[in-house]
Structure 1
């Protein structure tokens, strides 16, 4: 499941976001608590809207409450920027009341098939910087510290080193916007299989760019799913990149579903991240391997199992 699939699913769900809290979740909550006892995890795992919709219904407030009731202390939403201010505010109040940390949202329009920041086009850079400014307001509204940035498609007419300079210069400008607000853009390398042609693909490349930008507002999003496909050697690469990593996302491979469904030993990876003292957010940017309530329970159990170290 790639990011565009997540976007399509979230856009469909957002059509119902204006609804107030209905009685469905509240009426079933007592029974659900018996079936799904609250558990505090060692790491701050962050589900997304739709992941527990079979239990909680379509209302985002109900979904957030369901996540909190089952021990999840964070939440992420790629599509938060496109939601209305009133919906953002409702979600922010709920997260505050439930002591949930807001994770990433996508900060700008991602160019999947043409150069964005890589080509050095000033108009595209200005568009990107304007969207970063707009995302600062969203971040303030929902109490977000992190936002995802993807530099875009490669420019096949330019040497990679020139493209790297173009990206670094754009990110320096964006950092100047973000630093006064204490907000961090996290750069996400994407794998070659799901996102062919994207400029940013490997953790060493991302690490080098973060070092060159040299700003507390420009760090790395280490998506374990993407990097398992792209480069493997997960724990050593996390160790080597550690001082520039500000955020993690997960998904097992193959399938991009919950931990325990693929080849990644998430218990060992989570144990390592925890041993390093990481207290940020681990985004659950994956699908459910099984549909319906059964699949949602399986996701919760998978995180209990993988977090048990």
Structure 2
């Protein structure tokens, strides 16, 4: 029996239940947070512990003290499932993190090309993403400008991307929504237009909209450029979201070379109250591996 159903049945039988610092009446659980920062697991990360049902997985995340959740594929879920997940997130006090807002062109140019049809396709998907965001209570959505156009000089490509993002910002601004641009590393995703944090910073400054900011993925930027804390500092006023993964391997913190205790303490010291997506795999299999992920975040979470 999964924990959620055990709690529900026990609570119904006993009326109320005290469980590690929070009270239970039926399913209305509001656990005491276990972390100082807002780490966001994703569906599948705790499948062995919580089962395959996304709703059970959300309950498990909340039970473990997480206050946020992200789902790259949320826009592709049926509306009924989106609404059910939103209901659980509201019930359990989970903030919605990013979802991917549009089709990503991994092997051919779209926004960098300046092609009108590709631009309109992107803008149409942004309009649809507004509906998804409103349905699930999201504030941020991931945007990846796609592959480089190898027939054009970089300056032309940059101008094309900026123009598309300006038009997308016009769609997002009235709804107080933000697309976050994610630079991706050359090793995992060769040939993409957007790869470095200074490049993303330059583009966001040119777009000049609160609806266009940076998603600083620490894993990608460790591979692409390193120098993490100085680059975070330099980009700070344009960063709206972080994602986490250690290198090599893209697993949980403490499994690679990144000093996450220092990086996360720096982010906390800057007064960051946003979400940090746990966009990585688990280094060990099974429920024990899932517990190792949770323990790793407790280890690197900034201390009081």
TM-score normalised according to structure 1 size: 0.89
Contact kept? 2:214, 2:241, Cα under 8 Å: yes
Structure 2: distance between partners of 1:142 and 1:301: 28
Q: What is residue 78 of structure 1 aligned with on the other side?
A: 72
**Structure 2 residue 145 is the aligned partner of structure 1 residue 151:** yes
Q: Which residue pairs with 1:223 in the alignment?
A: 217
The answer to whether the aligner puts 1:25 opposite 2:6 as a matched pair is no
Q: How does 1:154-165 map to 2 (within 5 A)?
A: 154-165=148-159
Show CA shifts across 1:66-120 (max 9, x none). 0011011000000000001100000001001111100000000000000010000
> Computing the radius of gyration over CA atoms, which structure comes out larger, 1 or 2?
2
CA distance in 1 between counterparts of 2:177 and 2:5 reads: 38
Q: Aligned match of 2:234 in 218, 240, 249?
A: 240
Q: Following superposition of structure 1 onto structure 2, how do residues 133-144 of structure 1 map, counting pairs within 5 Å? A: 133-144=127-138
Alignment deviations for residues 4-33 of structure 1 (CA, whole Å, 9 cap, x no partner): xxxxxxxxxxxxxxxxxxx53334558xx7
Distance 2:166 2:219 in 1: 28
Asked whether 1:199 is paired with 2:177, we answer no
Q: Is this contact kept in 1: 2:197–2:221, CA < 8 A?
A: yes
**Separation of aligned partners in 1, 2:278 and 2:184:** 16
1:220-269 deviation per Cα after TM superposition (whole angstroms, max 9, x unaligned): 00000000000000000000000000000000000000000000000100
CA distance in 1, matches of 2:265, 2:276: 13
Residues 4-83 of structure 1 aligned to structure 2 (within 5 Å): 24-27=2-5, 39-83=33-77
SS in 1 for 2:232: helix
CA distance in 2, matches of 1:153, 1:201: 10
Q: What is the TM-score normalised by the length of structure 2?
A: 0.91
Partner deviation per Cα, 1:190-222 (whole Å, 9 max, x = no partner): 000000000000000000000000000000000
C-alpha distance in 2, partners of 1:179/1:116?
Answer: 23
Deviation, structure 1 residue 308:
4.1
Find the counterpart in structure 2 of residue 260 from structure 1: 254
- CA-based RMSD of the aligned residues comes to 1.3
- Structure 1 moving runs of 4+ over 4 Å: 27-30
Contact 2:251 2:283 in 1 (8 A): yes
Instruction: Return the alpha-carbon distance in structure 1 between the equivalents of residues 90 and 190 of structure 2.
Output: 38
Q: Separation in 2 of the partners of 1:45 and 1:224?
A: 13
Find the aligned partners of 1:307 and 1:26 in 2 and give their Cα distance: 26
Q: Is the 8 A contact 2:4 2:60 kept in 1?
A: no
Helix, strand or coil: the match of 1:299?
A: helix
Tell whether the 8 Å contact from 1:25 to 1:57 is kept in structure 2 after alignment. Answer: no
Give 5+ residue unaligned stretches, structure 2.
Answer: 11-18, 21-30
Counterpart of 2:13 in structure 1 is none
Unaligned 5+ segments in structure 1 are 1-22
**1:268-298 deviation per Cα after TM superposition (whole angstroms, max 9, x unaligned):** 0000000000000000000000010010000
Q: Aligned equivalents of 2:197 and 2:144: distance in 1?
A: 13
**Are the equivalent residues in 2 in contact too, given 1:267–1:306 (CA < 8 A)?**
yes
1:272 aligns with 2:266: yes
Distance in 2 separating the partners of 1:54 and 1:196 = 33
CA distance in 2, matches of 1:196, 1:27: 45
